[in-house]
Structure 1
Amino acid sequence: MPRLDHRTFVNACRDERGVGHHTLRAYAQDLRTFARFTATHRLSDPLSKDDILAYHRHLRDALGAKPATIERRLVTLKSYFAWSEDRNSALPSPFADVRISVRIPRRLPRPIDRDTLRAVLQAGDGPIAVRSKPSADDTAPTSQNAVTVLIIKLLIVTGLRISELTNLKIRDVSPDGGQILVNGKGSRERIVFVPNRELQEEFRRHCEVRCNEDSLAAPLFLNTEGRRLRSATFRKRLRALSRRLGIEPHLTPHRFRHSAATLLIEEGIDIRMVQALLGHASLRTTEIYVRVSNSALRRALERVDVLSELRQ
């Protein structure tokens, strides 16, 4: 059976390429899946082109994996064998003559419509956060509701990924609450602005409270237990809020990110500025939001009304 040195590979991706935590976790999962396949089918080194093609069929037919998952797992595997061959030329990559085309359906993002966003912003008085353990501190759920709504507002105006928000430290926010230093994908830093004055003041007050409670290196957002608020916990709060408001499909942090990008493009913000705000490495990733913004196109066409102009 081939020996997959996936731990060393993952560590090299982290140390040499600055790959993010979530991507590293996906790499490890992809390589473990392939390791199980090689064990089940009693494969041995050196692996061949036919072994890779058989693994592709296994992912597609036996596991029923989605096209995007199949592509990711093959890309991870190809990167691993290129890295492995670079360290030991006696084991050439089995991908040398492999040509696999995975057709991935192009899905448009699903932003949250404006009426739903208004309903969400007005729903902060109801229960959102529930304490995981009994406590005598009855004010905690109320304060957690306020934190949840604050994060929702920040997602709407900044387009941040939820992991970027929940990983913020107190020191990452400017004293006036108007700027955030974000550590994004691939450890790329960027500055994100909070444009709304009322939200700036709300954000500043939250940061001031946290600053009085903890050191500047402490997490900015805490859960009901006083530890760093995790992305998964915030997603649970959004699902609870979705059920309470009858929102389908349910709210997710990434839908707020889609909404932020779509709203900005509909209001005429240059796409390159939106790219910088979202932290996209490629403009192609941002361009999808231009196609989503049909309402902006409709308003523009109604303003022009070419047929009426020709009748004059």
Structure 2
Amino acid sequence: MSKHSKLMNFLSGMPDFVFDYIEIAYNGESINTQIGYSIDIKTFLKYLQKFNFSYIEKIEDFTVADMEKVTLRDLNAFTAYLKEYETDTVSIDGKHIKRIRRNSAYGINRKLSGIRGLFSYLYKNDLISQNVTDKLDFKKLHQKMKRPLTSQETVNLLDVIYNGEKYYTGRDLTEYKNRKKRDIALFTAYLGTGCRVSELINLDIRDVCFDTSSFVVTRKGGDEQEIFMPVQVENELFTYMQERVENEKAKDDALFISRLGTRMTAQGVEKVLKKYCATVGIYDPDKARPHALRRTFACNLIADGIDIKMVAELMGHKNIEVTHKYYTQYAIEKRKEVMQNFDITGNR
């Protein structure tokens, strides 16, 4: 079953106003995003059904009139409930599987964000008289500092991607050789353009144009943007494309494909990257995720003196405050450099 079919199947058991909200508010967003928010809203409705609206037999029976009855107290109680709760699902063979779910402050805020979005949608479309979620307080988050790859880590990572023959033997070596050109093209494109993993894996062959040295990606929100390629990225993509178009296993027009011939997934990209990182001793989990390469791209631009507005444009950020986070990470390295060269005697 495709992800879109999975989403439609999931929404078929939801109230009509939820179906409309997901279809309209998240039009242009990835299917994974739509599925995620749909699950969060279902969790909320099941909570209401259990503790506040016991007369409602099925989730799809909820109406906008029921949403009108939700109070701030209900929302605060739901927030507390999200810390730890039990779910009951039915397996294919009809067995009930109970699990304990726990959420961090980040996970709770993500779920509340979907609920607030739903109420905002209903209020703006005059389906409810007030948006009670405006009074809802989100959990305070203590941001963990996520660093970019250092120059040496980047060199080491590229070395194993380009020269895996020095690192692998046996079956690992065979697998590496089979995906070598793809991985070189994929990860140089990542480090050389700063695109999101979703933007790269959703590329089709036709999206790449060597005449203009660019490819077109669909950014968050559905806007398209032309991405211009550095020479190294263009060269590696060109080399890979010759292999890609001749691949008889390919089942669609996806640019980056798995060994089965299907479009690569974000999970697949992360799995491959983690293996390369482990090979060269990069064990920090934040640095072994695809977003670390995007973070590294941004910090390198800032270190090269590129104006932060241009960095925001290249990163596809609509809010420049998001880009400022990368500047903060770059500033940490500059502070380190200043302090390492500081002489406590005052000698210059």
State the TM-score bracket (shorter-chain normalisation): 0.7 to 0.9
Q: 1:72 is matched by which residue type in structure 2?
A: R
Unaligned runs of 5+ in 2: 1-13, 55-65, 86-100
CA RMSD of aligned residues (A): 3.3
Q: Would the alpha carbon gap of residues 177 and 223 (structure 1) be closer, same or farther in structure 2, given more than 3 Å must change?
A: farther
Say if 2:237 is the partner of 1:203: yes
Moved more, 79-88 or 49-58: 79-88
Alpha-carbon spacing, 1:184–1:52, altered in 2? closer, same or farther (3 Å) = same
Say yes or no: does 1:248 pair with 2:260.
Answer: no
Contact 2:148 2:299 in 1 (8 A): yes
- The residue that corresponds to 1:135 in the other structure is none
TM-score normalised to structure 1 length? 0.81
Task: Tell me whether 272-281 or 176-185 shows the greater mean CA deviation.
Answer: 176-185
1:79-98 to 2 correspondence within 5 Å?
A: 79-86=117-124, 89=127, 91-93=128-130, 95=132, 98=135
Q: Identify which of structures 1 and 2 has the higher relative contact order when contacts are C-alpha pairs closer than 8 Å and 6+ apart.
A: 1
Alignment of 1:109-148 (within 5 A): 109-124=146-161, 125=164, 126-127=167-168, 141-148=176-183
Aligned residue number for residue 57 of structure 2:
none
Alpha-carbon distance between aligned partners in 1 of 2:272 and 2:253, rounded to the nearest angstrom: 22
What secondary structure is seen at the aligned counterpart in 1 of 2:82?
helix
Alignment partner, residue 75 of structure 1: 113
Deviation of 1:69 after TM superposition, in Å, equals 2.2
TM-fit CA distance, 1:34: 0.5
CA drift of 1:269 comes to 1.3
Amino acid at match of 1:98: K
Identity rate of aligned residues, in percent? Answer: 22
| 1:51 matches 2:74 | yes
Structure 1: 5+ residue stretches without partners? 132-137
2:227 is paired with a residue whose SS is strand
Report what 2:50 is aligned to. Answer: 40
CA distance in 2, matches of 1:152, 1:97: 42
Relative to structure 2, which stretch is displaced further, 60-69 or 255-264?
60-69
Structure 1 residues 49 and 301: alpha-carbon distance in aligned structure 2, compared to 1, 3 A threshold: closer
CA contact (8 A) 1:238 1:252 kept: yes
Shift of 1:122: 0.9
State how far apart, in whole Å, the 2-side matches of 1:96 and 1:169 are: 40
Match of 1:22 in 2: 32
Does residue 174 in structure 1 map to residue 184 in structure 2? no
| Separation (CA, whole Å) in 2 of partners of 1:149 and 1:177 | 21
Q: Which residue of 1 aligns with 2:295?
A: 258
Code of the residue aligned with 2:70 in structure 1: it is L
- Find the partner of 1:188 among 211, 217, 223: 223
In structure 2, what is the equivalent of residue 229 of structure 1?
264
User: What is the Cα deviation at residue 22 of structure 1?
Assistant: 3.4
How far, CA to CA, are the matches of 1:86 and 1:262 in structure 2?
39
Say whether 1:274 aligns with 2:297.
no
Q: Which amino acid aligns with 2:23?
A: N
Quote the offset at 1:108 in angstroms: 3.0
1:206-260 CA deviation, whole Å, 9 max, x = no partner? 2244346699x81111111112122211111112223322321141100111111
Amino acid of the residue matched to residue 78 of structure 1?
R
How many residue pairs were aligned?
297
Query: Secondary structure in 2 aligned to 1:185?
Result: coil
Once the two structures are superposed, what CA deviation does each residue of 1:35-71 show, in whole Å capped at 9, x if it has no partner? 2212321426322222112111212465642222222
Aligned partners of 2:216 and 2:226 also within 8 Å: yes
Secondary structure of 2:258's aligned partner = coil
TM-score, length of structure 2 as denominator length: 0.74
C-alpha contact (below 8 Å) 2:116/2:133 kept by paired residues: no
Higher strand share: 2
